[in-house]
């Protein structure tokens, strides 16, 4: 008999579709979440899909406690027609799992961010963090096991939940389990900075899934290499045009899929022409006063390589003085992960270099750089519309949706300077100007080429970039994975 009280489709991610803030009087304000993962999954909007996520702060925890079993939709919160279960995980456990393991160890590993003479260090502190990470993953697995109907499909998202597929399979072998990684996968040599026991746990965690998805073939191959080298697993190359890889280990096979999340054209075009965006566009136009614009929009994130981007802009102004008083760099660097010292230091470095650039070049009538650090989506869209050049230069990035959103929203065409290390590069390379993200002089030269690109060429390239960027819109991206899991 069908079980109507439990879900047929479930999604799990650390950050959910909503978060809360609380006023001094105890009232809670709900805000829709941002970021690549949430944008991708927000297309679901199906009341029969249960989305399991973590409470990220005290206000979230209060909301979760006020809801029966953490079900926000049953606790009187308007979560946009979705069923959301928010897990109230012990704050200390959450902190060690999220900041200690997910955002320090795993994020640093997969984005190649370690300064290896001093980090990583796997000592007693790291071991305690790992234990917390196991409990945090177990809490997700238990919640999913409780919510899922027999044979349900569960789509587990991202590096925070890397252990969940295997834990969930143990609890509920009847489920169809998918895993999707939104960030890159480290090359095998680098991955093996992890102690062997942890490396094995990460890989076997993912291999608990029936299907594991990545944004690009490159990340899927890196994962397969790690499975081969660390676990001695067997890698099978599939026949057919897609040549899908599979990993066979201890009698089970996990298929690896490539699903390149695209930009949501309908949403973006509609949102980018609302009054609040028009207002901000007018303000930006006034601020740049007829100069050409180089735009970047990122979280202030080490992997986004903002400092080298600023160095490249400085080099452009030094080496090609003809651009002085003719170009403005608009850099939106929104706050992120300020609990981590590395991020606080990086934020300070971004501010310092911005000030140095202003000091070196500003004149009475020209500000070379506009740096904004308060998150404002409408203002980002305004900058996308205005941009002559978009700079997207990450050290590594699973996808990078900014590179895909700018061409969709651009008013008059925008040249895209794009790191070869962004996942988006796999689809956008033909019409972007590719850069090595470590090469500051090369990046400055690409900015110059972008600024001097003829208008017609820029418009043609932008149209092709927009078509490539929207090839797999979020809803299709999600439904394709669900269909493959159900097949």
Contacting residues toward ligand F6P, per CB under 6 A: 15, 35-37, 103, 158, 182-183, 336-337, 398
Q: Report the residue count for the chain.
A: 487
CB nearer to ligand F6P: give 49 or 103.
103
Query: Shortest gap between Cβ of 103 and ligand F6P (angstroms)?
Result: 6
Query: Shortest gap between Cβ of 401 and ligand F6P (angstroms)?
Result: 8
CB nearer to ligand F6P: give 15 or 379.
15
The span from the CA of 335 to the CA of 152, in Å, is 37
Residue 267's closest CA among 462, 42, 482, 424? Answer: 42
Q: What's the burial of 232, exposed, middle or buried (CB within 10 Å: 0-12/13-18/19+)?
A: exposed
CB–CB of 400/116 below 8 Å? no
CB nearer to ligand F6P: give 35 or 238.
35
CB nearer to ligand F6P: give 293 or 393.
393
Q: State how far Cα 124 lies from the chain centre.
A: 30
CB nearer to ligand F6P: give 325 or 375.
375
Q: Residues 6 or more apart from 318 whose CB is under 8 A from it?
A: none
Q: Residues 6 or more apart from 189 whose CB is under 8 A from it?
A: none
Query: Shortest gap between Cβ of 159 and ligand F6P (angstroms)?
Result: 7
- Largest Cα separation within the chain, whole Å, is 76
CB–CB of 237/245 below 8 Å? yes
Query: Shortest gap between Cβ of 444 and ligand F6P (angstroms)?
Result: 27
CB–CB of 375/382 below 8 Å? no
Query: Shortest gap between Cβ of 1 and ligand F6P (angstroms)?
Result: 38
The span from the CA of 402 to the CA of 338, in Å, is 22
Q: Which residue has the tokens 């069923």?
A: 83
Query: Shortest gap between Cβ of 391 and ligand F6P (angstroms)?
Result: 18
The span from the CA of 416 to the CA of 450, in Å, is 7
Q: Which residue has the tokens 């418009």?
A: 459
Query: Interior CA angle at 181 toward 179 and 186, to 5°?
Result: 125
CB nearer to ligand F6P: give 183 or 230.
183
Query: Shortest gap between Cβ of 56 and ligand F6P (angstroms)?
Result: 8
Q: 3-class secondary structure for 70-83?
A: HEHHHCCCCCCCCE
Query: Shortest gap between Cβ of 345 and ligand F6P (angstroms)?
Result: 17
The span from the CA of 307 to the CA of 346, in Å, is 8
CB nearer to ligand F6P: give 56 or 199.
56
CB nearer to ligand F6P: give 37 or 199.
37
């Amino acid at each position: 008999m069908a079980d109507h009280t439990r879900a047929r489709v479930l999604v799990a991610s650390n950050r959910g579709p909503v978060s809360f803030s609380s006023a001094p009087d105890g009232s809670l304000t709900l805000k829709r979440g941002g970021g690549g993962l949430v944008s991708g999954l927000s297309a679901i909007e199906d009341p029969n899909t249960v989305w399991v996520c973590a409470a990220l702060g005290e206000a979230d925890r209060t909301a979760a406690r006020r809801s029966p079993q953490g079900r926000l939709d049953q606790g009187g919160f308007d979560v946009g027609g979705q069923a959301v279960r928010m897990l109230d995980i012990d704050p200390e456990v959450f902190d060690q799992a999220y900041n200690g393991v997910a955002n320090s160890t795993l994020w640093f590993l997969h984005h190649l961010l370690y300064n290896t003479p001093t980090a990583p260090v796997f000592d007693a502190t790291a071991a305690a963090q790992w234990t917390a990470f196991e409990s945090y993953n177990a809490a997700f697995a238990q919640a999913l096991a409780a919510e899922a109907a027999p044979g349900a499909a569960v789509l587990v998202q991202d590096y925070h939940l890397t252990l969940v597929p295997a834990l969930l399979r143990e609890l509920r072998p009847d489920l169809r389990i998918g895993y999707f990684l939104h960030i890159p996968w480290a090359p095998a040599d680098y991955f093996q900075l992890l102690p062997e026991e942890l490396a094995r746990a990460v890989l076997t965690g993912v291999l608990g899934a029936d299907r594991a998805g990545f944004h690009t073939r490159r990340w899927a191959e890196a994962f397969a290499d790690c499975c081969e080298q660390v676990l001695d697993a067997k890698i099978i190359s599939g026949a057919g045009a897609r040549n899908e890889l599979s990993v066979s280990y201890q009698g089970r096979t996990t298929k690896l899929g490539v699903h390149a999340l695209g930009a949501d054209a309908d949403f973006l075009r509609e949102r980018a022409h609302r009054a609040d965006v028009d207002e901000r566009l007018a303000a930006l136009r006034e601020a740049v006063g007829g100069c050409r614009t180089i735009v970047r929009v990122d979280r202030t994130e080490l992997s986004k390589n903002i400092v080298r981007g600023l160095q490249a802009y400085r080099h452009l102004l030094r080496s090609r003085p003809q651009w002085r008083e003719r170009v403005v760099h608009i850099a939106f660097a929104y706050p992120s992960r300020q609990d981590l010292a590395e991020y606080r230091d990086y934020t300070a470095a971004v501010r310092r270099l911005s000030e140095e650039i202003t000091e070196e070049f500003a004149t009475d009538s020209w500000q070379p750089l506009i740096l904004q650090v308060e998150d404002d989506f409408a203002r980002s869209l305004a900058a996308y519309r205005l941009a002559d050049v978009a700079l997207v230069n990450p050290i590594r990035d699973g996808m990078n949706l900014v590179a895909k959103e700018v061409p969709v929203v651009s008013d008059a065409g925008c040249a895209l300077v794009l790191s070869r290390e962004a996942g988006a590069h796999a689809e956008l390379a033909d019409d972007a100007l590719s850069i090595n993200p470590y090469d500051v002089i090369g990046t400055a030269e690409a900015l110059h080429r972008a600024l001097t690109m003829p208008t017609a060429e820029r418009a043609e390239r932008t149209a092709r970039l927009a078509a490539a960027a929207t090839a797999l819109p979020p809803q299709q991206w999600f439904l394709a994975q669900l269909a493959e899991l159900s097949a």
